[in-house]
Amino acid sequence: MTTPDDLRALARDRLAALGVVLPAPGAEDLTAPSALSAEPLGSLPATTELDGVLDGAREAFLAWREVPAPVRGHLVRRYGELLREHKSLLADLVTLETGKITSEARGEVQEMIDVCDYAVGLSRQLWGKTIASERPGHRLAETWHPLGVVGIISAFNFPVAVWAWNAAIALVCGDPVVWKPSEHASLSAMGAAALLQTAVTELGHPSAVSQVVLGDARTGEALVDDPRVALISATGSVRMGRAVGPRVAARFGRSLLELGGNNAAVVTPSAPLELAIRGVVFAAAGTAGQRCTTLRRLIVHRSLVDEVGRRLVRAYRSLPIGDPFASSTLVGPLLNAASGTAFEAAVAQAVAEGGTVLTGGRLVDVTGCGGTFAEPTVIAMPGQTPIVHEETFAPILYLLAYDDFDEAIELNNAVVQGLSASVFTRDQAEAERFVSAAGADTGIANVNIGTSGAEIGGAFGGEKATGGGRESGSDSWHAYMRQATNTINYSDALPLAQGVSFG
């Protein structure tokens, strides 16, 4: 039996090993909750007074923007090395706070390492364009420059990786970062940030290139409203994005929004079924259904719907639910009791709307382990009733039938969110149609893999109520820089564009 004291001792040990100096409690105390216990891991000072932090960040920006980008990349490279050395320590904090199973928590830290590697390469590739000028003796070019302070607001379910996606890219782009982590994951945040601070100190850079401010939505709001923050990169619920987007726009700041998803997969008659079931189970039940890319709607050809239902029930019943630190566990706890209540309410609503629970549907006790555990659940639905349109952050998969492929695409696109979608098919025409302009309207559209588990090399993000932001790989770095168009006249004449003559 693991007691709350054991959990607190584990947290203290990991924090010390990561070099975290715990701040003295402040006026506004913030508890550090754990998904594994009703008792908190500790308490921390929260702040909504960001003047000193943001002045420091602004000052750091003036110096950091002039450090050559490849030298900025050295900092991120060192951070990646430190993450490699401390991977399991940081992962343990993630498990303690969020309940993520060890393998996935380590995967989260690996994602941080991957994005560091990516950002180091990027630090030598922040290129612009040279464009043919219509005027003789002129050169037309586009150049990219550091933007300013980047405020990062992150969600509980990827408590450190999403920050690293932002921080690694922002830092090589020449922008200091100020991080408001989830109030459910302050300790993981402090661990991740302490390692970066170690690299900053070793390389002699200003400490204010990376700062953390702890607190809840009120701390987030203080960051959102401050004109010293050039870009707010906010990850969380659609509700949060609806509040943050207009506030940043009102001061003409930039925002990058990564919000909720309601992701679907289509299983067609030609689908490789064994592979599809494996992909579906990981995407729907992995992380206890608490990923933004979690599969929530499975749209199956009517001829296969019973068969797919039977296979899913068999697979779901074999999923070990339990202590997230145990290597045999595949489904850990939900974040907290409120998540359990939301799970039960969604199941009840689905049944009231005509759904049939094929497997799961209940909260369960796990011997020797605190926390709220939900059975991975499959519910056959008569159609896209109101509950199917909602993102319930729990392992509930709604099973829906379709008759023709266009209808499947329509069902896929019928929700307000637009993050991730998949099709399982061996029919090339269907696969191509699904990822075409007339196909899935999501930021991520996959073929023969599930909706979750993206690699860092591609741009990550979604459309519609998911917010439209893009993070991580590809050319997402443009969001962290300002673009300038330069016209350079190296002639002795002054021809005007469009042939205009003026005197």
**Quick check: 309 and 301 in contact, CB under 8 A?**
no
Instruction: State both tokens at 91.
Output: 């992962």
Q: Which is nearer to ligand NAD, 144 or 460 (by Cβ)?
A: 460
Q: Which is nearer to ligand NAD, 222 or 271 (by Cβ)?
A: 222
Tokens 């990516």, residue located: 118
Query: 66 an active-site residue?
Result: no
Within 126-272, where are the H helices? 161-173, 186-203, 217-225, 238-250
Q: Interior CA angle at 458 toward 456 and 461, to 5°? A: 90
The helix (run of H) or strand (run of E) holding residue 7 is helix 4-17
Cβ of residue 199: shortest distance to ligand NAD, in angstroms?
24
| CA atoms of 368 and 346, how far apart (whole Å) | 27
Binding site for ligand NAD (CB under 6 A): 153-158, 162, 180, 182-183, 216-217, 220-221, 224, 235-237, 240, 243-244, 258-261, 292, 391, 393, 419, 462, 466
Cβ of residue 164: shortest distance to ligand NAD, in angstroms?
13
Cβ of residue 220: shortest distance to ligand NAD, in angstroms?
2
Closest residue by beta carbon to ligand NAD = 220
Query: 455 an active-site residue?
Result: no
Q: Which is nearer to ligand NAD, 80 or 418 (by Cβ)?
A: 418
| CA atoms of 4 and 252, how far apart (whole Å) | 46
Q: Which is nearer to ligand NAD, 260 or 332 (by Cβ)?
A: 260
Q: Which is nearer to ligand NAD, 258 or 375 (by Cβ)?
A: 258
Instruction: State both tokens at 120.
Output: 């180091």
From the candidates 108, 111, 183, 258, which is the catalytic residue?
258
From the candidates 292, 369, 430, 471, which is the catalytic residue?
292
Cβ of residue 406: shortest distance to ligand NAD, in angstroms?
27
| CA atoms of 296 and 287, how far apart (whole Å) | 13
Count Cβ atoms within 10 A of the Cβ of residue 448 and give its class: 0-12 exposed, 13-18 middle, 19 or more buried: middle
Q: What three-state secondary structure class fits 61?
A: helix
**Quick check: 266 and 397 in contact, CB under 8 A?**
no
Cβ of residue 192: shortest distance to ligand NAD, in angstroms?
14
The catalytic residues are 258, 292
